[in-house]
Structure formats: structure tokens, C-alpha cells
Amino acid sequence: MKKNLPLLLILSALTFTASAQTTNLTAAQQVLTDSLCNCVSKLDMSKINTKQQALQEYTGCIGQNLPLLQNVAQEKGYDMNNIEQMRTLGIEIAQILAKQKCSSFLKLSLLLAEKAAKNEISGGITAGTFKRFDVKGFNYVVLSENGSEKSFIWYKQFPGSEELMKPASALVGKKISLNWVDVEVYLPAAKGYYKVKEITGISIK
């Protein structure tokens, strides 16, 4: 869970409202937010042009201040492995940084929001014949459609996903209709972020 903290915290930061109020800060909160603001203020915003770059830079700042973050979590009784508590902590940190008018943090948050708005979710439905499963860091379902093969990532549970737990031999040749959305994920095998079609539903005839 801890390796996902930077992403979770920065995405949580985008959900705070400008009118949100923070209570008096504890010493641990003050030290953490001062250090984070100082780190973000050193970033060269002119060189941050993509969502991935923004996340990477903020990841570095969180990583540099992980012990301070742990102090705040412990002080509030939060479990570092609890997703909801870490999301709440991310929002709280964002509110503090905003109230303290950490300009670089606000610029970074706006940049992420703009990139997210430009990267609207798109998707569709593809029907074809099941060919095989490919395992390349994640499981992929390969369909044959009009003579060409198309690959879809099986990333998480979705309606009907239990159908894909059958042996591949039991699915070969069957007509399958897949609902999917375009998502951008980090592919371990390729060591980079790529757009893939994530399966969100399935129908097998």
C-alpha cells in the first residue's frame, strides 16, 4: 500500500474545495506541510507538461517526506494501509497547503486538474471471437475481430469476470462481447505508462 501513497495523496488533493477550512495545526502537521511546500516550490513548473510528470514530481516530494507523513498518520490514528484513511489524509494535507497559500502546490494541482479534464474517459463495445489469454504483467483477453486481433486488459473485477476464470480451452472459439474503457496504466513489463482498453463488462454467447 505504501508504494501507492503518492498517487493516492495527489489524487485526493484534487478533491478538496477552496472553501474548506482546517483546524489549528499540530506540530507534526506543520512540519510536514512546510516541508512539502518547500519541496514543491523547488519544482520547475515549466518542465511539467504531462500528468505523469506532475505525479512523478509529487511522488518524489512525498517520498522525501514519508517519515513526516507517518508521524501525522500515527498522530491521527490512521493506518497507512487503509485506503480510505489515506485518502482522507491526502485531502487534509491539500486543505492545509491551500490555506497556507502554497502557490506551487496550487499550480501543480491545477495542472493535474487540467490534464485530467483533457483526458476524458472514452470507451466502447467490441465483439469478436476469443483467441487466447496473454500474460504480460497483467492478464489480457485477445479477441479476433474481422481477421485482426485486439487485446483488452483484465485489470480488476467486473460484472461477468468470473467467466474468464475458466480454462482458455473452454473459451476458444466462443463469441464474446466486451465493454471497455480507455485507461492509462503503468505496465511493469514495459516500464512505462500506456493507454490500454480495460474490460468493464462481458457477454459470452
Percent of the chain with pLDDT over 70: 80
Whether 197 contacts 153, CB under 8 Å: yes
59 vs 78, more confident: 78
Q: How far apart are CA 66 and CA 104, in angstroms?
A: 20
| pTM (two decimals) | 0.49
Whether 128 contacts 174, CB under 8 Å: no
From residue 168, alpha-carbon distances to 37, 125, 127, 140 in Å are 51, 21, 17, 12
pLDDT at 13 over 60: no
Q: What is the mean pLDDT of residues 48-76?
A: 83
Radius of gyration of the chain (CA): 21
Q: How far apart are CA 73 and CA 68, in angstroms?
A: 9
22 vs 110, more confident: 110
Structural domains of the chain in order of their starting residue, each with its CATH number? 2-118 (no CATH), 123-204 (2.40.50.140)
